Structure 1
Amino acid sequence: MSSSRPNHRRGAKTPTRMLRIEGGRAHARPDHLVTEEPLEIRLQSGTGERRILAVTMRTPGHDFELAAGFLFAEGVIASRSQIRRMAYCTDPGEPQQYNIVNVELGSATLPNLAPLERHFYTTSACGVCGRAGLENLRLRCEPLEPGFRVSSQIIVELPRLLSQQQALFQQTGGLHAAALFDKCGKLLAVREDVGRHNALDKLLGWALLENRLPLSEHIVLVSGRASYELAQKTLAAGVPILAAISAPSSLAVELAREFNLTLIGFLRGSFNVYSGQERLEVSTPSPE
């Protein structure tokens, strides 16, 4: 199986000019925008059968991780060993396309995609969601075990550690991030993207390709809100703690409580715990 995957930041930011209005005066200045381009994920069996599985708007870079993470989080594959090869499109007679990734599986036929109920189309703002995704998750996942406990002081430090690694965000101000920490609060990996779902797919794809799954003693931090789809993806990877800088959605909280996921929101010096508080060590008990 091919394990090569480009980690370049090709086109991750785009230079432009803009007009800055300040103090009633206009100033022409250079600026950098986060790049948003489509990525088409094609699935191919060992015998050559092909299907376009998804099109997502993403920030170029870590595209193979994005494809692998998406396939795993949505239940299309269950392990790294099912991927024989990943490559950018190199169809005969066509120039190489860096916005198309072919994922060749080792099986002779493509997996049954009927449980997913639709031909995927995703955007940078919205993941693949709906009841089909939840039912698929219930078939694949059991409620998480209690597992390890982590100090609340470690949790509080996570946003600072993440921000130190967000170089591209500092330049553009237009990216979401997903970060993976171990139970001691050590930062293991960060992925950024214009779409929060893509950032998490890239992170989980990295873990899949590095043979680190399941992430049963890890913490995921996302830079925005904790949505239902992000909770689904986190659970699929076996992550017991999901923390978000912003708010969780109601469906994310429901999902977290059903699967015993520790869900943390508004992580800004202090934080709220919506589910799975037994995994957190606090210095003094909080009143009900």
Structure 2
Amino acid sequence: MPTPPVFLPPTSYDYCTVQRVAGTQATEASDVVAAEEPLEIRLGYGPAGQREHRTLAITMRTPGHDMELAAGFLLTEGIIHSRAALAGIRYCPDVTKDEERENVVRAELAETVAVALPRLERHFYTSSSCGVCGKTSIDAVHAASCPVLPTDGPYVEAAIIHELPERQRAAQALFEQTGGLHAAALFSPTGELLLLREDVGRHNALDKVIGAALLHEWLPLHNVVLLVSGRASFELVQKAAVAGIPVLAAVGAPSSLAVRAAHDFGMTLLGFVRQQRYNIYCGAWRIRV
């Protein structure tokens, strides 16, 4: 499959003056911090001559890969189900202030795509940390037509899993600058880094990865391992399932609902992947120990 850039040069950071304290001595210095700004996602839909436009979501994110973030959000929220449903996506030309132009994107759906109006009537507000609210049951996610995960692999050698966190961190150029970002990365079953995105929000980072895969027509992602830098929440399992990802590994702990969801989806879920150890919570048959 064609390969997009693993990551782009880091531009989403800012500088500030800090007081660095060592013992009882303080010195003034310049520090680098991760940028966080709101992104408004607008949606255009309907037949020619009767197009409607409305705001779908506002999310706090790290600027960069905004089209991928919006595309991933549309897919994982069930607004679209394929690349063909998306006619185009760009920064919105209709904003009133120049400084906001790169904080508003507009996704245009294909004219033939039917839109569930009750879903659009709910205006999302997504923080960078908590993810999208409202997914209160696994049954609701199953109803969103998630792809069926493969039952014949992929198979991953146990030793490969140990190598993934270091490979992910080595590719996190923006994290090295700021120390304040999450990452989501796709790896091949043999440990090759395929794609990585960073953001202040765990959910945003994953939406960017899934959006990039959608725009490059990779879906479903049946032959990859996903590594996330934080804990494994139910929302991350849900987003991975929508993209068809069979193996989700997390540096942190999974929640009980994440474990239940992964089990019901037939997903392999790993937690505490660090310091040459990890736990397999379900789907152990894909890991060759």
TM-score, normalization by structure 2: 0.90
* Structure 1 residue 110: Cα displacement: 5.9
Conserved? CA contact 2:45–2:52, under 8 Å = yes
TM-score, normalization by structure 1: 0.90
Q: Are 1:223 and 2:229 an aligned pair?
A: yes
- Larger mean Cα displacement after TM superposition, 36-45 or 84-93: 84-93
The corresponding residue for 2:284 is 277
- Larger mean Cα displacement after TM superposition, 73-82 or 238-247: 73-82
Q: Give unpaired runs (5+ residues) of structure 1.
A: 1-6, 283-288
| AA matched with 2:177 | Q
Q: Give unpaired runs (5+ residues) of structure 2.
A: 1-6
The corresponding residue for 1:262 is 268
The corresponding residue for 1:54 is 57
- Residue 78 of structure 1, aligned match among 60, 81, 84: 81
- Residue 144 of structure 1, aligned match among 140, 149, 165: 149
State the secondary structure of the residue aligned to 1:160. Answer: helix
1:227-270 superposed Cα distances (whole Å, 9 cap, x missing partner): 01000000000000000001001110010111111000000111
Q: Once superposed, what is the RMSD of the aligned Cα atoms?
A: 2.0
| AA matched with 2:103 | N
- Larger mean Cα displacement after TM superposition, 123-132 or 145-154: 123-132
- Larger mean Cα displacement after TM superposition, 122-131 or 203-212: 122-131
The corresponding residue for 2:134 is 130
1:65-119 superposed Cα distances (whole Å, 9 cap, x missing partner): 0000010111110111111111112117653710000001112676105358832
CA distance in structure 1 between the partners assigned to 2:147 and 2:96 by the alignment: 47
The corresponding residue for 1:104 is 108
1:204-233 superposed Cα distances (whole Å, 9 cap, x missing partner): 000000110000011100000000100000
- Larger mean Cα displacement after TM superposition, 148-157 or 88-97: 88-97
Q: Are 1:188 and 2:191 an aligned pair?
A: no
Conserved? CA contact 1:9–1:61, under 8 Å = no
Distance 1:75 1:144, change over 3 A: same
Q: Are 1:199 and 2:205 an aligned pair?
A: yes
CA distance in structure 2 between the partners assigned to 1:90 and 1:163 by the alignment: 36
Conserved? CA contact 2:10–2:173, under 8 Å = no
Name the % identity: 50
Conserved? CA contact 1:228–1:255, under 8 Å = yes
CA distance in structure 1 between the partners assigned to 2:116 and 2:26 by the alignment: 58
CA distance in structure 1 between the partners assigned to 2:213 and 2:189 by the alignment: 16
Distance 1:26 1:203, change over 3 A: same
- Larger mean Cα displacement after TM superposition, 253-262 or 84-93: 84-93
Q: Are 1:179 and 2:185 an aligned pair?
A: yes
Conserved? CA contact 2:83–2:217, under 8 Å = yes
| AA matched with 2:262 | A
CA distance in structure 2 between the partners assigned to 1:88 and 1:234 by the alignment: 26
Distance 1:71 1:98, change over 3 A: same
CA distance in structure 1 between the partners assigned to 2:53 and 2:159 by the alignment: 49
CA distance in structure 2 between the partners assigned to 1:8 and 1:165 by the alignment: 10
Distance 1:9 1:43, change over 3 A: farther
CA distance in structure 1 between the partners assigned to 2:15 and 2:137 by the alignment: 38
| AA matched with 1:147 | D
| AA matched with 2:36 | E
CA distance in structure 2 between the partners assigned to 1:92 and 1:18 by the alignment: 34
* Structure 1 residue 23: Cα displacement: 2.0
Conserved? CA contact 2:44–2:106, under 8 Å = yes
Conserved? CA contact 2:147–2:220, under 8 Å = no
Distance 1:54 1:134, change over 3 A: farther
* Structure 1 residue 135: Cα displacement: 3.7
The corresponding residue for 1:34 is 34
| AA matched with 2:279 | N
| AA matched with 1:123 | S
